[in-house]
Structure 1
Amino acid sequence: MEILETIGFDLGHGETAVAKAIVESIEPPEMLEINNKKNQITALGWHPKLGYLVGEQALIQAGVTQLTISFKQKPNNDSRYRETISTFLATYYRLLKESKQIEGEETTYFYIGCPSGWSVSEREEYQKLLREAGIAKLNVVPESRAAFMQAKEAGKLEYEKLLSSVLIVDIGSSTTDFTLVKSLEEIPMDFGSNTLGASLIDKAIFERTFAKHEQSDLLKKVFNEYPHHQARCELACRKTKEDYFSNEQLYSDPQSFARGFESINEQIYFIPQVNKSMMEEILNQPLPELKRQSWMQSFRDSVNEAKEKLEKLGIVPQLVLMTGGASRMKFTHQICQEIFPEPETLLRPDPEPERCIALGLARVGRWDLRAAAFKQEVNKLLDSQKLKKLIERHIPKLIELLIKPLADGLLENAVRPGVKDWQKNQIRTLGDLETSMKSRAEQWLKGDRAQQIINNQCISWFNKEIQPDLAAETDPICRKFQIPRSSLRFEDSIEPAFVNPELKIGDAILADTVAFIINVVIGGGTLASIITLILTGHLVWPIALVYGASVMAAGMELNRQSVQEAIKTNLDIPSWIRFSFLSDRKVNDMCSQLKPELEKVLQQQLAANQEAFDKLIGQIGQGLQKVLSTKVQEAIILIQ
């Protein structure tokens, strides 16, 4: 069954949020609501009549006898923990289906986040645990990936920064995770034991309030007998912290306090409160969970450690992206900016960190599905015979493009200079002339200039013949996935090595045909023209004056083939005769007459050299596959 929607489920230690993205749309995901709220306290309660309740309802509903909060942690074998996690997710799933906010079953794919510091095995175990909630399709991905995807698709990251180095600092309730994204690849930065979560601040406020409470002994008894009351008091401390960091300026006055409130009964109240001086004490007090370091110092040390690790890799991040609900604490921005100063590194705190991960997870899910489908479409094209047939169809045009420049090159670099050397008496016999022209032709075909001509013609051929047909195949794919057509095009031309990969056509010609071309056209044609001049009488009498009529007469008694061979091999015509009877004009005329024959032979031999062009077709096909695969990897980041 086709997947219609992806659900980003941000099950946080402190809060939970859910978002939905439609797979076939590029519209931003929408936040879903539970209890008419887009964000819920991560709380699970049990009511004897109403059953399991989540979020605020679990906190305020009268008659709740069991309450569990802040239960997200690495997967373990504790049965109570496992039941709590799976029940919480199953209850959320049921409520989302009952409210018709999701389709459910096989058409809905859940993407649930986990800290990027978790190992692959921990992630797999967590995924296995969450599937116990009865959700058919579910995947666990690092929350840092969701933060990156949300920043990318919400337009907060330019394309250049997407391809550069981005440091993601995710400050959650239970952990603070650092993830490097370099060239779109996520690299979690492991600092060992990671317990630096903002819930430690909640706990410190709770302990401070409890220690100063007038009825602390009674409170202790109540908490032991009724643990859900302690959970509610801890949440009151959390809300106090959030209120403080949302309005820090208000609480700089010693007489102003951010307050929480929880009623145990009509006589006992739990009222946590903080202002600036009190919060500074809390942030700077040693905590046993942080090996007697303060929260603020531990955060600073972690950011410094991240910087040191990056420096060892030779990386200065262009961007520090801050997310997680606790990233609203302004002092964390100041520390990050101090350690990663501008202009080398820009600081980008997410404006809605409490929703960032849920929205990002929904986007990750949609992107995964659309990117997989995109790659499948391109691979279908690459795996088919379309590419081979496309290239094969245009080989005659490539041959046509090669013939004229190769013929011109051979005439100008082998025939003409050879004949001119013979004309100037720098070559003794016509046989020597033949040898000279063969050597020149072979040398030129193997040289850089001939290869440059071939490369230029191949590029012209690819751009004019192959590219339009290839674009006709790739453009519909780009339109389907709503990315620019240029993503799979070669509009900036191409490298010669791509259309002519590791194959010199000059070499391919030499392998089977150059000897024939030289012998038949260059050797045979050129020498035949000169010998014809001799045998038709144009040079007979001048030669006879030099060598004697008897020599010529004796030669004439032989058959014509023998005469030609004798003249070619033995006859050393005097220079004054050569220049007189083979003037520059006649050399030009001879080359003009030879050109059609040379082009004809090149056409025949190139067309007949199927092995070389089969190899070329295969290598161009492989080159196209390789480059298109690279372009696919670059293009998928543009998919929404």
Structure 2
Amino acid sequence: MNSNSENYQIIGFDLGHSKTALASVSSGGKESPEIIEIQKKRFVMTALAYNRRNLPIIGYDAYTNLETSQAKEFEISFKKSPSDEDFSPKLIKKFVTAVYDIVKKSKQLDPVIEKRFFIGHPSGWLQEDVDRYKQLMYDAGLSNIKVVPESRAAFIHAYESKKVTIEQIRKGFLIIDIGSSTTDITFASEKKVEDFGEHRYALGASLIDKEIFKHCCENHKNKDKIDNHFQVNPKDIKKFEIICRKVKEEYFSKSGLYDSGCFPLQEDLYFCPKVNSEIMESILNTKLPDLKNRSWKEAFHEQLIRAKQKFEAKKILPSKILVTGGGARMDFIEEICQKVFPDSHSLYQMDTEPEVCVATGLARWGRLDVKTVDFKEEIDNFLQYNLENIVENNFNNFLDELVDFMVKKILPEIIKPSLIDFRNRKIKTKEELEDVIQARLKEWFYSRDLYEEVTVLLDKYLTDIEGQLTQELNEICQAYRLQPGTLSLEKNQQSRILDKDVLDQIKNYINPEDSVKVAENFPIVALVVSGALTAVMVILEIALPIFLDVITGGLSFVLSGFLINYVLNRFPIYTLSDDKISSILKEKEEELRNKIKDEFSKQQENITSVTRIAIRKAIDEKVDDARILVD
């Protein structure tokens, strides 16, 4: 159901750490994407150099020109997250611009049809990194850009190219994308695409290239000379790391001794990279600082174990393991997968052309994005005009119950004991009485008692919101032949891993001092959440104590302004019985309830804004997951 009749040329642009590939598809067709050749190759080395006229040279040409001393400033492996210290926007911009110029001159792009670019990024990137990367692509000369997770590209590629069956999609399958700089582990099913990787370190296959280079240098018969050569000629390191990459690739394709021959460095000094099974096994089991003193095999095994633990917590059993990316051809990957997932022996599959699968997946995802624009717009319109009212109405119900609980606690358990202490002369002055009440209020606001009650009420608040949203969204799903509940928000109270991007939203509403205060007083709130509604709940569990603390000042004023004065000015406090104090306070219960609600109303927009932002983000992710199923 797509009324958009315009046709676009969709270009999937996979800028990788070691290789770059492009693919193209028409937004209105159903054919498989076509690879856009770069320098007459299906993919090129991510390498950049400059010739003597200071013009950029890319790919293998950059390497060959370096070898013949025709190039300068040779650079490789520069695809980094914008938050990395060694991120170089200049190199990426120059490379992307050069690639695009070459492709345009090759006449593989339609000169008339509007183009839309879909760029991939690793799953571990933060949203701010994605935004900066997107702007960099615009600066490089691309237009109509969307930056999407490479895991989604791998999923849609597997789905449309029939590498997984409908039954496997229903049950869910595992995608392991082993790139040159990162390894992404993704669980994909008909209802969601979810990142299960651990991004504690960059586990990329290029680390093996560097170790081959290091091994060759350390075991060279003229070690001192070769160390001195690379110290004097550092650009040669990059050149020979590329040769070591080739050695690695050839070794795993032939599974045996691979000797690339010898390369002259200077008179009587040669670099001779070679590996055999013994050398490779030693390299793969070497502890690496970049992996926090783990070997490559250990780090990969650990990532799979952590992913499996998350699967087991959610009672998920992958129906298939699909391995892709440049590192997919390494044979030990299958061995480790089968060790961690012993039931997957017959379900393990390596992509037949892993070097270009992300590029073709990005093109496929772009076509899907265009085709389902009406679906997304209908959801966007519904949320724009209905989400605020749904949240506000349910928040008012939540607030009524919360204030009722607070009043029933504050009067008998804080105000009454304080007045009794004043009556019994344990508290000497009215000013001291106010200070004691304020201190007891603050202590209670950060107590386990209030925290647990707020959690129960938040659960009801969010469940009611979810119920209303699901009912309305199901009608839209039905119109697009999607199953009821496709856009439902899960709630899993078993584990709590809070999405950092969602958590950051709360920073718009609190002061740094408040953040520290919450960290000190609420260590129970972990930054871990499973399930969209649980994520919202944890945000509000963090936010509400802050707002309660803000309100404390107001409540103290209210209490000193009418409760304390009311009791002390109108009644002989030193002669009042405990029951009489209770009776007097009972008379002011409704007034106190209204005044607390008035104080809350000053913060209501902040709290409901946090709710709307987090729910909107969760539904947007659901919509992206559901697009593949739209008929």
Q: Same fold (TM over 0.5)?
A: yes
- In 2, Cα distance between the equivalents of 1:75 and 1:291? 21
Structure 1 residue 67 corresponds to structure 2 residue 74: yes
- In 2, Cα distance between the equivalents of 1:287 and 1:16? 26
Structure 1 residue 33 corresponds to structure 2 residue 37: yes
1:502-556 superposed Cα distances (whole Å, 9 cap, x missing partner): xxxxxxxxxxxxxxxxxxxxxxxxxxxxxxxxxxxxxxxxxxxxxxxxxxxxxxx
**Among 10, 17, 22, which residue is 2:14 paired with?**
10
Aligned AA for 1:42?
A: T
What residue number does 1:147 align with?
154
Aligned AA for 1:282?
A: I
What residue number does 1:370 align with?
371
- In 2, Cα distance between the equivalents of 1:81 and 1:149? 30
What residue number does 1:49 align with?
53
Task: Give the C-alpha shift of residue 53 in structure 1.
Answer: 0.7
- In 1, Cα distance between the equivalents of 2:269 and 2:133? 40
Structure 1 residue 315 corresponds to structure 2 residue 316: yes
Task: Give the C-alpha shift of residue 303 in structure 1.
Answer: 0.7
What residue number does 2:95 align with?
88
- In 1, Cα distance between the equivalents of 2:87 and 2:277? 39
SS at 2:177's partner residue? strand
Q: Structure 1 residues 489, 43: closer, same or farther in 2, change over 3 A?
A: closer
- In 2, Cα distance between the equivalents of 1:66 and 1:311? 49
SS at 1:101's partner residue? coil
Task: Give the C-alpha shift of residue 315 in structure 1.
Answer: 1.3
SS at 1:305's partner residue? helix
What residue number does 1:231 align with?
238
CA contact (8 A) 1:319 1:347 kept: yes
**Among 164, 172, 189, which residue is 1:157 paired with?**
164
Task: Give the C-alpha shift of residue 16 in structure 1.
Answer: 0.9
Task: Give the C-alpha shift of residue 265 in structure 1.
Answer: 5.1
What residue number does 2:277 align with?
276
Aligned AA for 1:197?
A: G
- In 1, Cα distance between the equivalents of 2:267 and 2:316? 59
Residues 559-578 of structure 1: matches in 2 within 5 Å?
none
Task: Give the C-alpha shift of residue 181 in structure 1.
Answer: 2.0
Structure 1 residue 292 corresponds to structure 2 residue 296: no
Task: Give the C-alpha shift of residue 122 in structure 1.
Answer: 1.9
Residues 156-555 of structure 1: matches in 2 within 5 Å?
156-248=163-255, 251=256, 256-259=257-260, 262-264=263-265, 267-342=268-343, 346-373=347-374, 488=481
TM normalised by structure 2 equals 0.57
Aligned AA for 2:317?
A: V
SS at 1:337's partner residue? helix
Aligned AA for 2:122?
A: P
Aligned AA for 1:271?
A: C
Aligned AA for 1:210?
A: C
SS at 1:36's partner residue? coil
Q: Structure 1 residues 104, 230: closer, same or farther in 2, change over 3 A?
A: farther
Task: Give the C-alpha shift of residue 182 in structure 1.
Answer: 3.6
Task: Give the C-alpha shift of residue 348 in structure 1.
Answer: 2.4
Q: Structure 1 residues 105, 265: closer, same or farther in 2, change over 3 A?
A: farther
Q: Structure 1 residues 117, 292: closer, same or farther in 2, change over 3 A?
A: same
- In 2, Cα distance between the equivalents of 1:105 and 1:267? 57
What residue number does 1:637 align with?
628
1:420-458 superposed Cα distances (whole Å, 9 cap, x missing partner): xxxxxxxxxxxxxxxxxxxxxxxxxxxxxxxxxxxxxxx
Task: Give the C-alpha shift of residue 224 in structure 1.
Answer: 3.8
1:476-513 superposed Cα distances (whole Å, 9 cap, x missing partner): xxxxxxxxx997499xxxxxxxxxxxxxxxxxxxxxxx
- In 2, Cα distance between the equivalents of 1:106 and 1:264? 50
Task: Give the C-alpha shift of residue 379 in structure 1.
Answer: 11
SS at 1:342's partner residue? helix
What residue number does 1:22 align with?
26
Task: Give the C-alpha shift of residue 262 in structure 1.
Answer: 4.1
CA contact (8 A) 2:201 2:292 kept: no
Q: Structure 1 residues 379, 344: closer, same or farther in 2, change over 3 A?
A: farther
CA contact (8 A) 1:258 1:273 kept: yes
Q: Structure 1 residues 343, 219: closer, same or farther in 2, change over 3 A?
A: closer
CA contact (8 A) 2:121 2:148 kept: yes
CA contact (8 A) 1:232 1:262 kept: no
- In 2, Cα distance between the equivalents of 1:345 and 1:184? 24
Q: Structure 1 residues 9, 330: closer, same or farther in 2, change over 3 A?
A: same
- In 2, Cα distance between the equivalents of 1:372 and 1:331? 42
Aligned AA for 1:298?
A: A
CA contact (8 A) 1:174 1:198 kept: yes
- In 1, Cα distance between the equivalents of 2:111 and 2:174? 35
Task: Give the C-alpha shift of residue 42 in structure 1.
Answer: 0.8
- In 2, Cα distance between the equivalents of 1:218 and 1:156? 51
SS at 2:628's partner residue? helix
Q: Structure 1 residues 489, 317: closer, same or farther in 2, change over 3 A?
A: closer
CA contact (8 A) 1:2 1:106 kept: no
- In 1, Cα distance between the equivalents of 2:48 and 2:250? 23
SS at 1:354's partner residue? coil
Tell me the matched-pair count. 395
- In 2, Cα distance between the equivalents of 1:306 and 1:634? 20
TM normalised by structure 1 equals 0.57
Task: Give the C-alpha shift of residue 160 in structure 1.
Answer: 2.9
- In 1, Cα distance between the equivalents of 2:244 and 2:34? 30
Q: Structure 1 residues 28, 103: closer, same or farther in 2, change over 3 A?
A: same
Task: Give the C-alpha shift of residue 137 in structure 1.
Answer: 1.6
Q: Structure 1 residues 180, 240: closer, same or farther in 2, change over 3 A?
A: same
- In 1, Cα distance between the equivalents of 2:625 and 2:132? 32
- In 2, Cα distance between the equivalents of 1:356 and 1:121? 26
Q: Structure 1 residues 379, 84: closer, same or farther in 2, change over 3 A?
A: closer
Q: Structure 1 residues 261, 197: closer, same or farther in 2, change over 3 A?
A: farther
- In 2, Cα distance between the equivalents of 1:170 and 1:144? 8
CA contact (8 A) 1:209 1:272 kept: yes
**What is the aligned-residue identity percentage?**
39
Aligned AA for 2:157?
A: Q
CA contact (8 A) 2:190 2:629 kept: no
Q: Structure 1 residues 104, 148: closer, same or farther in 2, change over 3 A?
A: farther
1:537-580 superposed Cα distances (whole Å, 9 cap, x missing partner): xxxxxxxxxxxxxxxxxxxxxxxxxxxxxxxxxxxxxxxxxxxx
Aligned AA for 2:277?
A: K
Aligned AA for 1:336?
A: C
CA contact (8 A) 1:318 1:345 kept: no
Unaligned runs of 5+ in 1: 381-484, 491-631
Aligned AA for 1:161?
A: Q
Aligned AA for 1:119?
A: L
What residue number does 2:145 align with?
138
SS at 1:163's partner residue? helix
SS at 1:234's partner residue? helix
Task: Give the C-alpha shift of residue 222 in structure 1.
Answer: 4.0
Q: Structure 1 residues 489, 295: closer, same or farther in 2, change over 3 A?
A: closer
Structure 1 residue 58 corresponds to structure 2 residue 62: yes
Larger radius of gyration: 1
